Copies of this chain bind each other. A is one copy, B any other.
Amino acid sequence: MTTRKIFLNESEKPTHWYNIVADMPNKPQPPLNPKTKQPVGPEDLAPIFPMGLIQQEVSADKYIEIPDQVQDIYDIWRPSPLYRARGLEKLLDAPVKIYYKYEGVSPSGSHKPNTAVAQAYYNKQEGVKKIITETGAGQWGTALAFACAQFDLKCEVYMVRISYDQKPYRKIMMNTFGADVYPSPSDRTQAGRNILKEDPESNGSLGIAISEAIEMAVQEEANRYSLGSVLNHVLLHQTVIGQEAEKQLEMAGDYPDIIIAPLGGGSNFAGISFPFIGKNITEGKKTRCIAVEPASCPKLTQGEFLYDFGDTAGYTPLLPMYTLGHNFRPAAIHAGGLRYHGASVLCSQLLKDNLIEAVAMQQLECFHAGIQFARSEGIIAAPEATHAVAQVIREAEQAKKEGTQKTILFNMCGHGFVDMKAYEDYFAGVLSDHTFTENDLKSALGEIRELQP
């Protein structure tokens, strides 16, 4: 019997976040003011974010120190365990070593608190009293609710209506951590009222909920907005995952040939891969980093690299990214999260420069992989996380076919205890795959082209 789990002590946690911008051969293009089409400056963002985060958003420093108070909260669950997937390896019987970071040990059950805690800290430092955000399936809202409780901040969450109705447990988790939760679209904001006027039964979308949260945040001086993915500073905070993984793999005497993570906005993928992509660039390592997106929301594999809004109402700056258009919504049949219309600026630029790979995965393959993983490893994965497992299985089968030995690392970004409805639908046979067409893309991108500088 050999070890399944590799732990680090709290004192071995990374001391700095890693900023990949410093190492990128092509720096990301700047966000633009949608009216002037000129780059947005820090002062434009000041009503929305605290200056500590804005500085990180635009920083080119390679390392940014993690404050002590953030580290102290990280200690609740970090360093997260690195697992050797012995059960899955046995099942697959392929010439692969499979490792995964398990971020489901966090208070909200996903990787999201890595940035939520940092964001709450910088807001608190600057005298903010209340943080307002949106949440889709609820992972991000729960994480921010927890983080705000640690710093005695108020927290207000706009939750996509259909999730609010279908996932009451997530709402109650946020309440338990002390947050107020409203279904979006709501009648509390102009953005929400506009949507409700057109469609009083609207199910909502992440883009709409972002618009509502931003609108509320800018109304009061002591309030700020917070985003759970996409932005540079969010991806930055997640890099503790990859840095820990590197140390843990070193303890096991390994280094990954392949890294795999799901991609919604990009923070989960960035968290585990960026420190290794940095080594690819600066030390000539050759780790393949593969982002897995759902076939029904395929911005990386079928979207275009364009300037687009981050939200539906157009409150955000224009961001240069692979996008399906800010009005895009995945087909109703899609169950597994990762619904955001665009990919983060950093991940988009890396893909454009062929420094990462992207794969679109159908949902039935994902759930099938999730069940194999649950039975062999004992962890019921969040539907999002099953995308990574499905790709791991593909890579293992490929290695078997080729007869090559591979070391695979992936991010098990969260557990699925609060997402069992999706598994139920899978067992009941009501889920199906969805083929995204050229026409979907045309209609999705529509007027976005007119936004280009």
Contacts and interface: CB of A to CB of B under 8 A. Distances in A.
Interface stretch (A34-42, A303-311, A319-327, A369-377): A369-377
A352 interface: no
Given A1-B75, A72-B1, A374 B176 contact: yes
A418 interface: yes
Identify the interface centre among A1, A11, A105, A178: most chain B CB within 10 Å of its CB: A1
A378 interface: yes
A3 interface: yes
Contact of A420 (B11, B173, B375): B173
A427 to B, nearest CB: 6
Contact of A176 (B71, B173, B421, B423): B423
Contacts of A380: 107, 173, 176
A56 interface: no
A199 B189 CA distance: 51
A440 interface: no
A353 B102 CA distance: 45
Given A107-B379, A176-B423, A178-B375, A1 B71 contact: yes
Contact of A4 (B75, B109, B377): B75
A46 interface: no
Interface in A373-413: 374-375, 377-380
A365 interface: no
A1 B66 CA distance: 14
B420 A168 contact: yes
Contact of A427 (B11, B72, B172, B427): B172
A7 B72 CA distance: 17
B177 A374 contact: yes
A contacts with B: majority SS: helix
A417 B167 CA distance: 12
A76 B377 contact: yes
A52 to B, nearest CB: 20
A106 to B, nearest CB: 8
A377 B73 CA distance: 9
A242 to B, nearest CB: 21
Number of copies of this chain in the oligomer?
Answer: 2
A329 interface: no
A5 B371 CA distance: 31
Contacts of A107: 378-380
Contacts of A146: 378
A76 B424 contact: no
A169 interface: yes
A433 interface: no
Interface string A174-190: 01111000000000000
Given A10-B4, A71-B1, A72-B1, A375 B172 contact: no
B3 A168 contact: no
A372 to B, nearest CB: 11
Interface in A15-63: none
Contact of A68 (B1, B9, B176, B424): B1
Interface string A294-332: 000000000000000000000000000000000000000
A176 B75 CA distance: 31
Contacts of A423: 172, 175-176
Contacts of A71: 1
A410 B379 CA distance: 25
Given A146-B378, A417-B418, A424 B168 contact: yes
A421 B171 CA distance: 11
Given A3-B75, A107-B380, 6 more contacts: A3-B10, A76-B377, A173-B380, A175-B423, A175-B427, A177-B374
Closest 5 CB pairs of A and B: A107-B378, A417-B417, A169-B420, A172-B420, A149-B375
15 contacts: A1-B68, A4-B75, A7-B9, A76-B378, A146-B378, A150-B378, A168-B420, A168-B424, A169-B418, A173-B380, A175-B423, A176-B375, A177-B374, A417-B418, A418-B420
